[in-house]
Amino acid sequence: MSRQSVWATKVAALVQGGNAQAALAQIRVAPTVKDVQQLRVLLTNAKLLERHRAVDEATSDQIVALSAPRLHRSP
């Protein structure tokens, strides 16, 4: 059983409070894929993803971006 992310609960509270723009800014700098996935679960359970399409798209895009292998520069 994994622990719930503090980041995900705070961003979910932003969306629930009606501050979707602040939530989008936080989603763009999300720490890990796991955190974004937990956020999606919280928002889905609260039925907030249907109302906030931009948040839905941003979380999906961020999961893809964080899951992709990182390109690195040689020294």
In this predicted model, what pLDDT tens digit does every residue of 13-27 receive, in sequence order?
Answer: 999 999 999 999 999
What tokens were used for 44? Answer: 């889905």
Q: Would you say residue 75 lies in a domain?
A: no
Q: Would you say residue 61 lies in a domain?
A: yes
Distances in Å between the alpha carbon of 68 and those of 38, 60, 71, 72?
18, 13, 9, 12
Give the chain's domain count.
Answer: 1
pLDDT in tens, 39-49: 999 999 999 99
pTM of the entire predicted model: 0.85
Q: Would you say residue 1 lies in a domain?
A: no
